[in-house]
C-alpha cells in the first residue's frame, strides 16, 4: 500500500491539484538498480541517437495542459509556466546542438606521444530538485546527463511534483526514473551505492545534508543553493522606465521565490527618493498580484502558509513598508503576500543579511563605490549580483570584483541569462555549474589514455623509474 503526498493549489485553498505516491527505500533501490542496469548500453548508443531523444521530448513542450498544471501546483502565473516549459525545450535543443563538440574525444599525437582524453559518463545520476522552477531546474540535469551517456533518477519536490512527473514520463522509461517523497526519499537516493553523481538544487540546509551524505559515499555532488543577490546602481545609472520594470520583475518574479532574484537594492545616497518613486511607478506598471490562471497576473501566491507567515514577519520586522503593484484577487483565497519595498533598514536587518525568498525587498543607500562593493560582497552567499550603469566598461570593471557566480549588467534574473553562460554559486551558494559547456561537462569524468613516445617503436626510451619531462 503506497502512502501519498497531496498537493493543494496555493492560490485556491482547499483545491486538491493532485497526488503522488511516496517511494520508500526499496522503491528507490529498484529505481536506481534499473537506471544502473540501463546505463552501459545507453552510453554505447551513438551520440546522435542520444541527442535525438532530447529533441523529441523537447518537441512536445508546447502543451497548454502542462502549463496550467504547473500554475495550479506552484502558484506561478500561467504565462510564466508556459515560458518555463518552452525555455526548457530550448535548453534541451541547445544541449543537443552543443553535445557533439563538448563531448568529443580530444586526441593529440606529437613528439611527446599519443594522448586520448575521453569524456566518460558517471553512470546512474541522482537529481534532487526544488519546487520553484521544477521543469527547467530538472531539465538542466536530465538533458546534459543523458547526452553524456548517464541515466538518471529524479526526486522532485513534494510541493510541485506533478507537471515535472508528466514531462519525465515522455523520456524512455529505462533512462529516466522518478521517485517521490520528502527528505527521507532523497537521502535513500543520495546514499545509494550505485548512484555515481548527485545534482542538487535547493536550500542550504538540505544542501549540507546531501553534501555530507554524498561525501560519505565518495559520490561527487553539484550543489546549487540559495543566494542573496545585491543589485548595485552605480552613481551614473539612470532609473529609466524599462530598467525599473526589469528590476522590479527581477525581484518579484515567482513572488520573489527565485534563487537569483534581486534581493538587496543599493542606490547612491541622495538619489533614494528618485529611485523609490521610479520603482513604485514601475511596480504599478508590471506587478499584478492575482490568480495564477488569470492572464494579466504577473505575481501569484507564495508556496505554503508557512512561507507566507515567514515573509509577513520579515515585512513587519522594521523599516518603512511600501506596498507595491496592483492587487487583482481576494488575498484571503490563497497564500498571497503583497509585494513590498522596505526602506530605512541597515545591513544587519534579517531581510538584508539573509535570503528572504519571498516578495519583499530592501532599499539601501551607499556613499562610495568601494563601500558598496564591500557591503555587496559581505555574507556567505554568492550566487548572482547585478550592476547598473550607463557605462558598460565601468559596469564590467565593477562586476569583476563581485563575489558572485553570475553578474547581470543592467538587468537582473531571467532576462539576463544566456544558455552559453555557466551558472552557479561561489562561497556557500554552492559549487558546480549548470548551463554552458561546463554544465554538460559536469556529467562527465575526463579519462586519459597515454602512449609515451619514448616507448614507441624507435622511441628514445627512458630509465625505468624516471619522471617524464
Ligand atoms: P529544499 O532544500 O527544501 O528542497 C529541495 C529538494 O531537496 C526537495 O526535493 C526536498 O524534498 C529535498 N530534500 C530536502 N532535505 C533533504 C535531505 N536531507 N536529503 C535529501 N533530499 C532533501 O529547497 P526548496 O524550498 O524546495 O527550494 C528553495 C531553495 O532553493 C532556496 O534557498 C533557493 O534559493 C534555492 N534554489 C537555488 C537554485 C540555484 O540554481 N542555485 C535554484 C532554485 C532554488
Domains of the chain, CATH where assigned: 4-225+429-449 (3.40.605.10), 230-416 (3.40.309.10)
Task: Decide: 275 and 373 in contact? Cβ < 8 Å.
Answer: no
DSSP H stretches of helix in 218-287: 241-252, 272-286
Cell numbers given for 80: 510564466
Would you call 224 a catalytic residue per the annotation?
A: yes
Cα of 226 from ligand 1 centre, angstroms: 9
pLDDT at 204 over 70: yes
Does 225 sit in the ligand 1 pocket, CB within 6 Å? yes
Closest ligand 1 atom number to CA of residue 209: 18
Read off the pLDDT band of 469 (50, 70, 90): confident
From the CA of 227, give the closest atom in ligand 1.
34
pLDDT, mean of residues 109-137: 98
Which residues lie across from 268 on neighbouring strands? 366
| Higher-confidence position of 1 and 318 | 318
Q: How far is the CA of 149 from the centre of ligand 1 (A)?
A: 26
The cell 533518477 sits on which residue?
153
CB contact burial 233-265 (16+ within 10 A = b; e otherwise): bbbebebeeebbbbbbbbbbbbbbbbbbbbbbb
Q: What separation in Å is there between the alpha carbon of 203 and the centre of ligand 1?
A: 4
Tens-digit pLDDT profile for residues 128-139:
999 999 999 999
Does the C-beta of 432 come closer than 6 Å to ligand 1?
A: no
Whether 57 and 146 have beta carbons less than 8 Å apart is answered as: no
Q: Give the count of beta carbons closer than 10 Å to the beta carbon of residue 335.
A: 23
Contact call for residues 103 and 91 (beta carbons, < 8 A): no
**Contacts (Cβ under 8 Å, ≥6 apart) of 343:** 272, 276, 319, 320, 322, 362, 363
Residues facing residue 115 across a β-bridge: 108, 450
Other C-beta atoms lying within 10 Å of the C-beta of residue 413: 24
pLDDT exceeds 90 at position 1: no
What is residue 225's predicted lDDT score, i.e. its pLDDT? 98
State the cell numbers at 12.
485556491
Helix (H) or strand (E) holding 91: helix 78-102
Residue 225 exposed, middle or buried by CB count within 10 Å (0-12, 13-18, 19+) = buried
How far away, in angstroms, is 363 Cα from ligand 1 center? 27
420 close to 435: Cβ distance less than 8 angstroms: yes
CB atoms under 10 Å from CB of 95, counted, come to 26
pLDDT 10s digits, 146-195? 999 999 999 999 999 999 999 999 999 999 999 999 999 999 999 999 99
Mutate to test the pocket of ligand 1, among 206, 211, 214 (most ligand atoms within 8 A of CB): 206
Helices (H) and strands (E) in the chain, counts: 15, 22
Residue 189 beta carbon below 6 angstroms from any ligand 1 atom:
no
Element (H, E) at 157: none
Q: What is the mean pLDDT of the chain?
A: 98
C-alpha cell at 98: 552543443
- Bridge-partner residues for 384, per DSSP? 406
Confidence of residue 2 (pLDDT cuts 50, 70, 90): confident
- 5: its cell numbers: 503526498
User: What is the reported pLDDT for 227?
Assistant: 98
Q: Kindly tell me the sign of the dihedral angle through the C-alpha atoms of 397, 398, 404, 408.
A: negative
pTM to 2 decimal places: 0.97
Amino acid at each position: 500500500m503506497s502512502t501519498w503526498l497531496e498537493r493543494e493549489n496555493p492560490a485556491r485553498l482547499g483545491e486538491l491539484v493532485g497526488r503522488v505516491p511516496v517511494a520508500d527505500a526499496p522503491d528507490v533501490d529498484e529505481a536506481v538498480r534499473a537506471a544502473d542496469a540501463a546505463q552501459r548500453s545507453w552510453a554505447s548508443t551513438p551520440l546522435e541517437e542520444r541527442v535525438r531523444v532530447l529533441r523529441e521530448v523537447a518537441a512536445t513542450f508546447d502543451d497548454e495542459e502542462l502549463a496550467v498544471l504547473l500554475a495550479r501546483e506552484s502558484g506561478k502565473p500561467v504565462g510564466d509556466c508556459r515560458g518555463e516549459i518552452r525555455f526548457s525545450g530550448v535548453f534541451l535543443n541547445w544541449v543537443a546542438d552543443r553535445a557533439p563538440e563538448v563531448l568529443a574525444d580530444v586526441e593529440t599525437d606529437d613528439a611527446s606521444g599519443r594522448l586520448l582524453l575521453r569524456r566518460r559518463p558517471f553512470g546512474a545520476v541522482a537529481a534532487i530538485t526544488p519546487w520553484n522552477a521544477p521543469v527547467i531546474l530538472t531539465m538542466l540535469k536530465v538533458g546534459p546527463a543523458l547526452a553524456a551517456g548517464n541515466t538518471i533518477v529524479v526526486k522532485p519536490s513534494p510541493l510541485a511534483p506533478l507537471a515535472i512527473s508528466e514531462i519525465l514520463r515522455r523520456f524512455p522509461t529505462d533512462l529516466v526514473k522518478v521517485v517521490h517523497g520528502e527528505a527521507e526519499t532523497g537521502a535513500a537516493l543520495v546514499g545509494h551505492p550505485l548512484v555515481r553523481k548527485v545534482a542538487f538544487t535547493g536550500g542550504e540546509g538540505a544542501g549540507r545534508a546531501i553534501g555530507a551524505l554524498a561525501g560519505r559515499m565518495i559520490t561527487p555532488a553539484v550543489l546549487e543553493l540559495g543566494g542573496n543577490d545585491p543589485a548595485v546602481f552605480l552613481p551614473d545609472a539612470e532609473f529609466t522606465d524599462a530598467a525599473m520594470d526589469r528590476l522590479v520583475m527581477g525581484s518579484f518574479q515567482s513572488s520573489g521565490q527565485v534563487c537569483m532574484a534581486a534581493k538587496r537594492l543599493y542606490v547612491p545616497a541622495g538619489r533614494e527618493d528618485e529611485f523609490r518613486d521610479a520603482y513604485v511607478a514601475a511596480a504599478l506598471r508590471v506587478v499584478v498580484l492575482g490568480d495564477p490562471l488569470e492572464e494579466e497576473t504577473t505575481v501569484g501566491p507564495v508556496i505554503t502558509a508557512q512561507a507566507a507567515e515567514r515573509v509577513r514577519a520579515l515585512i513587519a520586522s522594521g523599516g518603512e513598508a511600501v506596498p507595491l503593484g496592483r492587487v487583482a484577487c481576494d488575498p484571503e483565497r490563497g497564500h498571497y503576500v503583497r509585494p513590498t519595498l522596505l526602506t530605512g533598514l541597515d545591513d544587519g536587518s534579517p531581510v538584508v543579511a539573509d535570503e528572504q525568498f519571498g516578495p519583499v525587498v530592501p532599499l539601501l543607500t551607499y556613499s562610495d563605490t568601494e563601500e558598496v562593493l564591500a557591503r555587496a560582497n559581505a555574507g556567505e552567499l554568492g550566487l548572482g549580483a547585478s550592476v547598473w550603469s550607463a557605462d558598460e566598461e565601468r559596469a564590467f570593471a565593477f562586476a569583476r570584483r563581485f563575489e558572485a557566480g553570475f553578474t547581470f549588467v543592467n538587468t537582473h534574473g531571467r532576462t539576463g541569462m544566456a544558455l552559453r553562460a555557466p551558472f552557479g554559486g561561489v562561497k556557500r551558494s554552492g559549487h558546480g555549474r549548470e548551463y554552458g559547456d561546463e554544465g554538460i561537462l559536469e556529467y562527465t569524468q575526463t579519462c586519459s589514455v597515454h602512449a609515451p613516445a619514448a616507448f614507441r617503436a624507435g622511441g628514445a626510451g627512458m630509465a625505468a623509474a624516471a619522471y617524464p619531462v
